[in-house]
Amino acid sequence: MTATHAAARVEEPSDGDGRTAKVPAAAPRRSVLRGRALRTTGFHLAAGLLSALWLLPIVLVLVTSTRTFDDIAAHGVGSWPHSFTLDGFRQAWVDGGQQRALINSLLVTIPSVLLSLGLASMAAFGLSRYDLPFRRVLLLLMLGGNLLPPQILLIPVSKLSEVLGIYDQLYALIGVQVGFGVGFYVFVLHGFMRAIPGEIQQAAVIDGAGPWQIYWRIILPLARPALAALSALSFTWIFNDLLWAITVLRTDTQMPITASLIGLQGQYVSMWNVIAAGSVIAAAPTVAVFLRFQRHFVAGLNLGAVK
């Protein structure tokens, strides 16, 4: 047998007559590659179909927001567009009060994110880097508070804000968002900070660094990936919140963007182009944050899971 034939064929055990059967070695390889290609193609087709189904409502809202009311009334919401205008955005932004509502949302979201992560990072630093008494109990209590259904706390939170004299103020909504978010953020940051090698802290102590310097100059910079992920996630959660907004706020001028969409729908009823434009305005900040921090969103799903 030549070297070429030996490379192309493999010998199997001989049969009863002492002869050996020759089987092409490339055939199983081609079969494996063909099966892998089919699976890859099927995966991409299924993923593409699911992506198209997920994007279809978004595209419908975008197209509806740029159509005129007469076009929608004459041909229907789901019809092919016969007009293009940005007047719906102007109506939602100016007449519908979306400008004021968006400012309210940012005035609530940004301080809530900063306060929540600031307090959570300090609490997680103390619980993860020092042998505090009952630290495990404290951590479980913080986490357990987030397991309570928010519906059972609506009336107590509303009454408490009235007693404190902050009802129908943005301060009340900031306090609620911070109070209900700190526990979860502490739990996540605790798992991340606990994985930081202790030798780094010990070296800082030898160099004369105190607890505040260790926290600010060493632990906090090392925890930047976790903080970035939680910042993106918390911004999305707080900005899109509706339940607590309608619980502690009452005046239309104090409502955030999510609550103002309800009033926008009641104000314009069947003017779907204005309602769709208001929805686009409300979604734009969170989409921008997601696109900016999308890799942190993915990384944030695993933070603290295996620490």
Residues 143-193: tens digit of each pLDDT: 887 788 888 889 999 999 999 999 999 999 999 999 999 999 998 899 889
Contact of 246 with 176, CB cutoff 8 Å:
no
Segment 110-118 mean pLDDT? 96
Task: Return the pLDDT at 166.
Answer: 92
pLDDT of 9 strictly over 60: no
Mean pLDDT of the chain: 85
How many separate helices (H) and strands (E) can be counted in the chain?
16, 2
Task: Return the pLDDT at 291.
Answer: 84
What is this structure's pTM? 0.81
> What single DSSP character describes residue 11?
E
> What residues pair up with 152 in beta bridges, in sequence order?
none
Burial of 144 (0-12, 13-18, 19+ CB in 10 A): exposed
Q: What are the CA-CA distances from residue 181 to residues 109, 199, 237, 251 (Å)?
A: 12, 31, 10, 25
Range from 100-114, 203-217, 236-250, 284-298 carrying the lowest mean pLDDT = 284-298
Contact of 263 with 284, CB cutoff 8 Å:
no
- Phi-psi category of 133—alpha, beta or left, where left has phi over 0 and alpha has psi -120 to 50? beta
The four Cα atoms 162, 165, 170, 173 give a dihedral, to 10 degrees, of -40
pLDDT of 24 strictly over 90: no
Contact of 110 with 256, CB cutoff 8 Å:
no
Give 306's pLDDT tier (boundaries 50, 70, 90): very low
What sign does the dihedral 43-44-45-47 (CA atoms) show? positive
The tokens of 112 are what?
A: 């809530």
